[in-house]
Amino acid sequence: MNNSYKDSACGNFQVPCELGCTEIFNVIDHHKNKAKGSLTVFYQSGCAEKLMITIKDSNYCQKIYFIMKGSSRTFAIDDFIEIELTCVNGSSQMPCKGKYCLNYEIITKRKKSDSACKRPKMHMNSK
């Protein structure tokens, strides 16, 4: 049986050039949970010409996307556990700034219950 939880998270980001990346989403207990949803990122200004978006899925595979300064991009994501933003090859100390909005659904996988009713096997004798 699967349970799910829907929510959204929107806000501003500032990614420091000298520190590399900023995590904007992480699924708690990702060994049992994953998320799906849509993400929109607007890269307004900053030290780098490109902002890198790294999306890690529940199999720990990473998909990497880029957004040019002054642009936005929307993604439909069917499986993710973590999203990070990175300033790529920043040339100054000015952080990469912008906005994001994530609409997501957390899917929790549960094991089948052992207390479920079991039908007894019927044996038929043939003559």
CATH number of the CATH domain containing 27 = 2.60.120
Write down the mean pLDDT value for the chain. 81
- pLDDT value of position 126: 46
Is 120 a member of any domain? no
Residue 125 has pLDDT above 60, yes or no: no
Is 79 a member of any domain? yes
User: What is the signed CA dihedral for 42, 23, 64, 102, rounded to 10 degrees?
Assistant: -50
Residue 118 has pLDDT above 90, yes or no: no
Is 17 a member of any domain? yes
**Residue-range definition of the domain harbouring residue 93:** 2-109
Closest by alpha carbon to 56, among 21, 77, 38, 83?
83
Residue 14 has pLDDT above 50, yes or no: yes
pTM: 0.77
Is 116 a member of any domain? no
pLDDT per residue over 56-113, tens digit each? 998 889 999 999 999 999 999 999 899 999 988 776 778 899 999 999 998 885 554 4
